[in-house]
Chain A
Amino acid sequence: MNPADRIRVQTAAFDVGAEHTRIAALDQGIGAIASFTGLMRNRNEGDAVTAMTLEHYPGMTESALVEIVTAARTRWALQAVTVVHRVGRLVPGDPIVLVLTAAAHRGEAFAACEFIMDYLKTRAPFWKKEETPAGSRWVEARTSDDEASARWNPSRSAAQNDAGSRSGEGAD
């Protein structure tokens, strides 16, 4: 992993401003920082959601995130990347995930930030369980996320090297 990169899986909240300040101070060759923050919504699939618990696969999660950032670095010239993903119980409005990408120019920063999120959604082993007034339920994977990830590799199919196949549930 590049020493300028920060990859963390944590229960604690993160401070977007502090992370942005840190990455901006790393290298005076940085001309652009793209930032994505994912927040927990209070609705999903038409139902009220009062809380959610994020489970992950310790060990594989971190190595999957390192692999995703490494893949982004082979595509774009990046000075630094920060990925912070929370696990545990969250309530609506809580930040879930932060991706910061720093580059000389905005094109690389924007593209790498979107690429990392698209890959994270389909490759990093996190799972969400929602609490609704009708009880709790596991969030189903979305085919739209597979499509978003697959567009970065037009020559490969969305179902890459999977042991099981996607049944098409949960499409947007």
Chain B
Amino acid sequence: MLTVLYFARLRETFGIDRETLPLPAPATVEGLLATLRGRGGAWASELAPGRAFRVAVDQRVAGLDTPLAGNEEVAIFPPVTGG
């Protein structure tokens, strides 16, 4: 199972900070995003193509085509604002 984490504004908007999900098809970051968008509402609007968000897989910045094997920690978060 994938562990999916949400941070900052997205955590508040989705009302959840973590969940476990089965491997999506296709087994990539894009496949996971498509699954989440399928929930509709804020999931569809916040994760729509062109919206500003970032994805990390096992704590490294990932792209849409990053493959998933099924046991990763995937984090979805807004652009960072530290410093």
- A residues near B (Cβ < 8 Å) are 38, 54-57, 59-60, 63, 85, 96-97, 117, 120-129, 138-141, 145, 161-167, 169
Q: How many residues of B contact A (CB 8 A)?
A: 27
* Interface SS of A by simple majority: mixed
Contact indicator A63/B59 (Cβ below 8 Å): yes
Least Cβ distance of A113 to chain B in Å? Answer: 12
Contact indicator B52/A38 (Cβ below 8 Å): no
Contact indicator A57/B83 (Cβ below 8 Å): no
Which B41-83 residues have a C-beta within 8 angstroms of A? 50-56, 59-64, 75, 77-83
Of B55, B78, B80, chain A has the most CB atoms within 10 Å of the CB of: B80
B8 located at the interface, meaning its Cβ lies under 8 Å from any Cβ of chain A in the complex: yes
Contact indicator A164/B53 (Cβ below 8 Å): yes
B39 located at the interface, meaning its Cβ lies under 8 Å from any Cβ of chain A in the complex: no
Which residue of the partner chain A has the closest CB to B57? A163
Least Cβ distance of A51 to chain B in Å? Answer: 15
- B residues near A (Cβ < 8 Å) are 5, 7-9, 29, 33, 50-56, 59-64, 75, 77-83
Which residue of the partner chain A has the closest CB to B59? A60
Which residue of the partner chain A has the closest CB to B7? A57
Q: Chain B contacts of A169 at CB under 8 A?
A: 52
Q: Which of B33, B50, B83 contacts A97 (CB 8 A)?
A: B83
Contact indicator B80/A162 (Cβ below 8 Å): no
CA distance A62 to B70 in the complex (A): 24
Least Cβ distance of A92 to chain B in Å? Answer: 16
